[in-house]
Amino acid sequence: MSEVVLEEIIIYGIVALFCLTIVIFYLRKIKTTSETTRKKVETAKEEGLHEPVSLHPFINLNTCIGSAACVAACPEQDILGIVDGKATVINASNCVGHGACFHACPVEAISLRIGTEKRGVDLPHINENFETNVKGIYIAGELGGMGLIKNSVEQGQQAVQYMVKAKKPKKEGIIDVAIVGAGPAGISATLEAKKQGLKSLTFEQESLGGTVFTFPRSKVVMTNPMELPLHGKVKLYDTSKKELLSLWKKVINEHDLEIREQTKIEQVIPQENKTFKLITNKGEEHFANNVLLSIGRRGSPRKLDVPGEESKKVAYRLLEPERIANEKILVVGGGDSAIEAVLLLKDENEVILSYRKDKFSRLKPKNKEKIKQAAENEEIKIIYSSNCVAINEDSVLLKVEGEEDTRQLKNDRVYIFAGGEMPTNFLQKAGIEITKRFGYILKKHK
């Protein structure tokens, strides 16, 4: 064997060994990553975070190539991971539907869905123009399944544009469009209505602050800028709710928009002349050619229905916690909203958390750790397996499982975080059809 041939064999051997080393390293990395992700999935299942509760990514494993672009693109923590070279969902209930994973996937293996094969979600019927089966009533934003701020803004704008194309004849004494809800879709629709020269009136059952502060994260994150009618491009990268509220107020003041706060629309009644009568919680009646519903899926806060709940000291949202000090406060609930309220109030107040179950579930990991630490440090008191049964002027009554007598606690203020009720009856009274959807694929936004 010549020296040249021997040298070639040695070179090929070194190259082969190098390639083998890379392959072994790669396979070990895949194995390690897979094991880490599997553990996270098991933890998520134990904590009740694996099953989606609203909009979530669905991965087509036959198409997925395991690029992990979706994992890198997701602004949230541990929503997606990689197992055996394929993407998988970890903490599905923490997903808030940014859509960044869908946009990042190079092979379109991800779709955004609402509901699963086993758990259906009620959705109203709307067509491609955001119009319901009732001609003249439109739905935009979270109520239709798409809660992402950017998409809600786009839908509110587009719904008004379709109203203009429909060319409903104007009627004296009747506004062109009544907009119910002053969230992203409602504000966008109000701006677009003004831009189109339509007479509009917007109703908000809470305050603007209440609407903004119900968003599911302390920070509002958008992967792409959005276009607000009459205002221009808006970028929200790691934006606080307070900053978003300032933007809302600035836009409203600059364009002199009419927003009726603390005014809830109790009923929308179709009229024979193809207009709509809206009845408010204040007994007022308004008539409109078109109605846009942008009220969110939760509609109204769920109440406990206990004596004294109508008291002024009871609230279902925490606004401006920095102004509350030296009070005895009861927080009712065991979700992230309740936990975050307790953590914001505990430093300046005496806070008790009442939760009807014997342990927390579906909590974000950071919230779970923080509330556990606060309880261990005796900064707060948690009463598990308890229910608030009465609210008095200076006290509350709690019924604790296993205790014969109710507990009476001195109290100055009560916050109730018992979730919200989808406005199914409200929609059905207006004639809007609702269907339970299983694994429903929402309209894609590329």
Return the DSSP state at 396: E
Per the DSSP assignment, residues forming a β-bridge with 395 are: 410
Q: Where in the chain is the domain with CATH 3.30.70.20?
A: 3-114
Structure tokens at 163: 């109203």
Provide the sign of the torsion angle of the four alpha carbons 145, 146, 148, 149, taken in this order.
negative
Q: Which helix (H) or strand (E) holds 424?
A: helix 424-429
Tell which CATH architecture fits domain 122-299+423-441: 3-Layer(bba) Sandwich (3.50)
Q: Where in the chain is the domain with CATH 3.50.50.60?
A: 122-299+423-441, 314-420
Residues of the chain with pLDDT under 50: 444-446
Tell me the per-residue pLDDT of 360-379, one tens digit each, with 9 for 90 and over. 887 877 888 999 999 999 99
Tell me the per-residue pLDDT of 280-338, one tens digit each, with 9 for 90 and over. 999 999 999 999 999 877 667 888 999 999 898 998 888 778 889 999 999 999 988 89
From 3.30.70.20, 3.50.50.60, 3.40.50.2300, 3.40.640.10, which CATH number describes the 3-114 domain? Answer: 3.30.70.20
Q: What is the pLDDT of residue 132?
A: 94
Which residues 6+ apart lie within 8 Å of 236 measured at CB? Answer: 149, 220, 221, 222, 226, 244
Number of neighbouring beta carbons within 10 Å of residue 14: 10
Structure tokens at 15: 């190259």
Q: What is the pLDDT of residue 109?
A: 92
Structure tokens at 431: 């004639």
Q: What is the pLDDT of residue 217?
A: 55
Residue that the structure tokens 């719904």 belong to = 159
3-state DSSP call for residue 116? coil
Exposed/middle/buried for residue 381 (C-beta within 10 Å: 0-12, 13-18, 19+): middle
Q: Where are the alpha helices (DSSP H) in 196-238?
A: 208-212
Q: What is the pLDDT of residue 446?
A: 40
Q: CA 106, CA 101: separation in Å to the nearest integer?
A: 10
From 2.60.120.10, 1.10.3720.10, 1.10.240.10, 3.50.50.60, which CATH number describes the 314-420 domain? Answer: 3.50.50.60
Q: What is the pLDDT of residue 216?
A: 54
